[in-house]
Structure 1
């Protein structure tokens, strides 16, 4: 994420595009940057492109399966006229509030034709690649339009923002957080709100863009708004720009009013569903103190980088998907030196911009540390400003560590401004240029990204791929794979995603990976609270535990199946764990002991469930 920034001119006014920017030379530069961005994004995601269905993200198969499910649900929504913000297909019989999850509705709708033709895995890797490339390109255009004159400076800043450690890390499964293009697109139109006479048009556009941003990355949109507010406040209070801010205020406020009204109308239903709809919740299913940045993490190197490959990576993040800072000592030093140098040599208007941008970086740096300061994984006991915010609406649903993504945009702006100044100063001495070039190389080369690690995952069984399941489950009946779908055992949710992508009739399933109510004090939690039966299968699959099953277990299983309305359960020949190898043999032994001998059909073991009948009768039938 980033900040709203004033223009790079000495008076802080937006520069008018030069004739060369509008000419063929400008288009050639754009095409070059676009090509480089797409090539880098494809390089980062190439492990998935090799076999989208057969390979998954090694660090986060659970989130990948969730987003693939959403993409399949997009096809189902268009084909059946279903509610995009609430589904009955997961967590039978209660359903799931998708508005309270990351529903990426715009993506699921736009890519529905591709999902229908090629399947959710192909749509997933396509969106992921476009997110990374689009982020770099959008930042490049934004920096060139509002900050710098030299295209090389905009290109460097854009590529840094698009492929910064935090965004490459979140590319491990997060179609929302890898969409770093949302921030510069939003900020582009925020800056244009100040243009006299165009507040209505620009307000309408910005309102529509906010609705899109909310659908794709609501938390990121919130961070962008916060950063914008901090920037505007600081910039407006600076002596050199105070009068300009007062002049622009009426137009800006009018445009923001139109923005709020437009976005409010477009988001009325999803906002109602998010905050007041069925099965909503407060807070989040994650521990905010745990998902906070370690102070030392800013000076370490990320796992998926050249430095990490050379053994300099760190493990200070909660997991490899949440390495949101990890800039390394050289880049942190370079950013500070760049800010000081820009301040010293800037005219008053530009100095106000540098001060506001730097303030945003400092504020979000501190907020990303969470409620208590951590240093090398040890909590110091020092209370930080986020402690006063963590229980406020919206803040209570945010993870502090992700606020570090705002710092990415701040550093990208400072780097672009610095390169622009160096290239625009003809009399700069050779030793000075050499020192700056060495500093940039030392700071950025170690951060060059590595491809996302992938691993094999279970192949879709013929039972699902060929539609054989329809012979064993009524339309909209309930069926589940074993073990039941969770963030750690996600195959069942994938199989349902693939059936939804093919349209036609559908089955419902109990459980699943999602955020829903059930946490302490009314907060959220991951998935549904476990019942006796799905917990037995989870223990068998995840830990290899084969329980000693008796009549009490069978009675509770009968009650659980009746609650869910289960008509059939099946076990494929191969099952995949999100973070570890699963014990398929333990699952089969548990199921056979509990439910009797299975049928073998379509590459799976199948147990049909008859309502009101013991899971195992005395003849061994299910």
Structure 2
């Protein structure tokens, strides 16, 4: 996002790249003076095209009852760069200025009164000062010692005006001598931020805007100008009193204008409802049968996540340590903080899990989490990026429902539930907007302290939702910030200091809150230092051009050949969307935001190719940029293909910008003709249609064997003993975790599906370190061959079962169960018992020999 936009909800001008200067003229019953003013402005701007570049002149008719509207329309017909914005009534100067500025696209925005009391050629002075400052506001000041008052007001009128202005200074903006001069030049993006936040409709708008600039730390400079009192001026000395009253009403909240009109709230609700409906339709198969439904492409992950939710609820209910358990991988246990248990949701959802079971929690987290993620991106785009809520909604839909997101929607809620990421981005942008103006007595701007503290709290909460998504988000934010800083060095210089200070406050909040959990994660029982993912964890370049298996026009066979598995299809944006994004970037290239978004997406895509890039259809292998990060702390555990997920919000933002421009109803040089709009919208539809997600398929999950479901196992397991499923649960088959979570976690199991340490260097692996007996049973399960079982194998089995403190061994129906039964019969030297739909071997506390 653009660091110069404001946290209050500014819709960033998407056309700022095409317009260098916007001139806004509010007009109410100005038929006598308006046309000379417009002619003078146009003549001045045309006289030096190299200096002013692309410009637009926006006339805001504030419900005039005379011929003002017709005169403005005539000017627009004669000069296409003149545009007319009409109000539905006379609401006041503040309302008119707000309409005009928010309709502007300029890199700089000049507001000037219709009487042109300050001649238009004074713009040169203001522009020179604003260019020197880089950003901010420059006021044409009549009170400056070097100002030239060519035609004075009556002495009494002038004295009353000065008195009112001094009172305004004391109340609202100390240090600014002339708040009410109608000739002001602003940085365009900052002006749109300030006016989007404004609430006053009357004369007090000038003070409100200047206060906003002061609070944001943006420079406000007064420049002396020539000024002449114009007969018929609508400003009266008593109006300064009205300004003071407006400021009092502003402080008490009685302004009559809310920041989000009812129409906007209704649109927000409609968008949120559509996102919820889309999420529900994706998971309709799961919701249709919560007792037996299992996401077909989830592998063992649904069993794992339901177990995470259940064990967290059990730990909370019994006031046990939520960061560790021995219910899996007995007796060593599992470091839950080092696994993706999403304590930020699993803890608050404990009542739901206890009341309705972990499958309901799983379905809620997926459905509502995806909805919340889409709403959060919509909120950020509408607040920071575009005017049109529907453009923001379409961009957010792409960010939240992009093919990589839908791949993780099968199994990885930590990569689906990302609603805190837009909130964190917004708070970081607030820090970038802060400055030194109005510093508190402790030497820090209050906003920096507040925003830094909140950023720290938000980041802390995201840690408990997913650390890897936060790391990837930080990478994306860094890529955007670096590229934006190259394009807008002035903004970067102004933002750097408050950002660093705010990050310092964020760290001071995060570190105490996270000290113990992170210590437990990295140094506690079951901790590890990295996770092995193999050499083929990067994306193929072709993966960006193909469609994912579950996309509307996707092909599972093609996608499966280009991804690790169906839950890791981390690219697959499709060639139409890639081509569309390229076209948008070329079209809007002059925009600093577009350049930064493009760099972010391209850089993330290249990083996701991994440490080695294999050129398609050749044997050429090139070193990839990821090799510089592959063995760095934190990054060594990242599946590098996931870095391509950064592209989703970047592409969503580009899409929102394009749609906002194409659906803009204004006329002017920054807005494409109607025919071009139709073609552009058709191209967007054609690019998005192939990647529309389809409902996630569901299969029937196996029933829990009656031996477990009815609690029969309790007669065979003493305190401290385990149930040993055959084969032991692992990442490939973790149905035993469902046995546990569906029956109240009444027993522990060896093995399991989790991240834990392996070997002396504690390298992270998926599942428990293999033992001879677990490997033997795994080989028989998948190979169907029965090895020769002699005394050595029997002794090894007794040793392993004793290590696991096995109380009973359970063989459930499954492929190759006959071979498994024969193997177990040879290991134990006796047949099993058929009880409750399974074969069991009851074991005494001392080991497998003898009977209980």
Q: Which residue of 1 aligns with 2:837?
A: 603
Would the aligned equivalents of 1:513 and 1:527 in 2 still touch at CA under 8 Å?
yes
Give 1:541's match in structure 2, choosing from 781, 793, 800: 781
- Are the structure 2 counterparts of residues 532 and 334 from structure 1 closer, same or farther at C-alpha, using a change threshold of 3 Å? same
TM (norm. structure 1) is 0.90
Distance of 2:2 and 2:563 partners within structure 1: 28
Of 513-522 and 289-298, deviating more is 513-522
- Deviations 1:293-328 (CA, angstroms, capped at 9, x unpaired): 111111111111111169975631111111111111
1:54-453 matches, within 5 Å, as: 54-196=292-434, 197-238=446-487, 241-287=488-534, 289-308=535-554, 315-344=561-590, 351-376=591-616, 380-424=620-664, 426-427=666-667, 428-453=672-697
Distance of 1:552 and 1:448 partners within structure 2: 57
- Deviations 1:364-410 (CA, angstroms, capped at 9, x unpaired): 11101110113448763200111121111111111110000001111
Would the aligned equivalents of 2:729 and 2:736 in 1 still touch at CA under 8 Å?
yes
Distance of 2:659 and 2:259 partners within structure 1: 18
Distance of 1:516 and 1:479 partners within structure 2: 20
Would the aligned equivalents of 1:6 and 1:147 in 2 still touch at CA under 8 Å?
no
Q: Do structure 1's residue 530 and structure 2's residue 530 form an aligned pair?
A: no
Would the aligned equivalents of 1:463 and 1:603 in 2 still touch at CA under 8 Å?
yes
Q: Which residue of 2 aligns with 1:578?
A: none
Deviation, 1:614, is: 4.4
- Deviations 1:162-187 (CA, angstroms, capped at 9, x unpaired): 11000000111111111232321221
Deviation, 1:484, is: 0.9
Would the aligned equivalents of 2:456 and 2:505 in 1 still touch at CA under 8 Å?
yes
Distance of 1:76 and 1:85 partners within structure 2: 12
Structure 2 residue matching 1:103: 3-state secondary structure: coil
Distance of 1:133 and 1:410 partners within structure 2: 19
Q: Do structure 1's residue 480 and structure 2's residue 714 form an aligned pair?
A: no
- Deviations 1:550-608 (CA, angstroms, capped at 9, x unpaired): 22222111111111111112233x45xxxxxx333333333333333333433333221
Q: Which residue of 2 aligns with 1:348?
A: none
Distance of 1:185 and 1:304 partners within structure 2: 29
Distance of 1:286 and 1:313 partners within structure 2: 19
Distance of 1:525 and 1:311 partners within structure 2: 28
Structure 2 residue matching 1:493: 3-state secondary structure: helix
Would the aligned equivalents of 1:138 and 1:184 in 2 still touch at CA under 8 Å?
yes
Of 79-88 and 3-12, deviating more is 3-12
Distance of 1:520 and 1:286 partners within structure 2: 19
Question: RMSD over aligned Cα, in angstroms?
Answer: 2.3
Structure 1 residue matching 2:553: 3-state secondary structure: helix
Structure 2 residue matching 1:124: 3-state secondary structure: helix
Would the aligned equivalents of 1:300 and 1:326 in 2 still touch at CA under 8 Å?
yes
Q: Which structure has the larger Rg over C-alpha atoms?
A: 2
Would the aligned equivalents of 1:12 and 1:353 in 2 still touch at CA under 8 Å?
no
- Are the structure 2 counterparts of residues 432 and 174 from structure 1 closer, same or farther at C-alpha, using a change threshold of 3 Å? same
TM (norm. structure 2) is 0.67
Q: Which has the higher contact order (CA 8 A, sep 6+)?
A: 1
Distance of 2:597 and 2:567 partners within structure 1: 27
Would the aligned equivalents of 2:806 and 2:847 in 1 still touch at CA under 8 Å?
no
- Deviations 1:494-537 (CA, angstroms, capped at 9, x unpaired): 21223446xxxx42211111111226964221112221222222
Of 122-131 and 298-307, deviating more is 122-131
Would the aligned equivalents of 2:720 and 2:805 in 1 still touch at CA under 8 Å?
no
Deviation, 1:245, is: 3.2
Distance of 2:728 and 2:618 partners within structure 1: 36
Distance of 1:337 and 1:181 partners within structure 2: 29
- Are the structure 2 counterparts of residues 337 and 425 from structure 1 closer, same or farther at C-alpha, using a change threshold of 3 Å? farther
Q: Which residue of 2 aligns with 1:32?
A: 270
5+ residue gaps in structure 1?
345-350, 576-581
Q: Which residue of 1 aligns with 2:700?
A: 456
Distance of 1:446 and 1:472 partners within structure 2: 55
Structure 1 residue matching 2:621: 3-state secondary structure: strand
Distance of 1:32 and 1:291 partners within structure 2: 39
Would the aligned equivalents of 1:294 and 1:316 in 2 still touch at CA under 8 Å?
yes
Would the aligned equivalents of 1:72 and 1:497 in 2 still touch at CA under 8 Å?
yes
1:492-507 matches, within 5 Å, as: 492-500=736-744, 506-507=746-747
- Are the structure 2 counterparts of residues 25 and 481 from structure 1 closer, same or farther at C-alpha, using a change threshold of 3 Å? same
Distance of 1:28 and 1:77 partners within structure 2: 41
Deviation, 1:195, is: 4.8
Q: Which residue of 1 aligns with 2:286?
A: 48
Would the aligned equivalents of 1:475 and 1:507 in 2 still touch at CA under 8 Å?
no
Distance of 1:170 and 1:368 partners within structure 2: 16
Structure 1 residue matching 2:786: 3-state secondary structure: coil
Of 539-548 and 407-416, deviating more is 539-548
How many residues align? The count is 596
Distance of 1:251 and 1:392 partners within structure 2: 28
Distance of 1:313 and 1:490 partners within structure 2: 25
Would the aligned equivalents of 1:316 and 1:377 in 2 still touch at CA under 8 Å?
no
Structure 1 residue matching 2:620: 3-state secondary structure: strand
Of 538-547 and 43-52, deviating more is 538-547
Q: Which residue of 2 aligns with 1:562?
A: 802
Distance of 2:622 and 2:682 partners within structure 1: 37
Would the aligned equivalents of 2:2 and 2:593 in 1 still touch at CA under 8 Å?
no
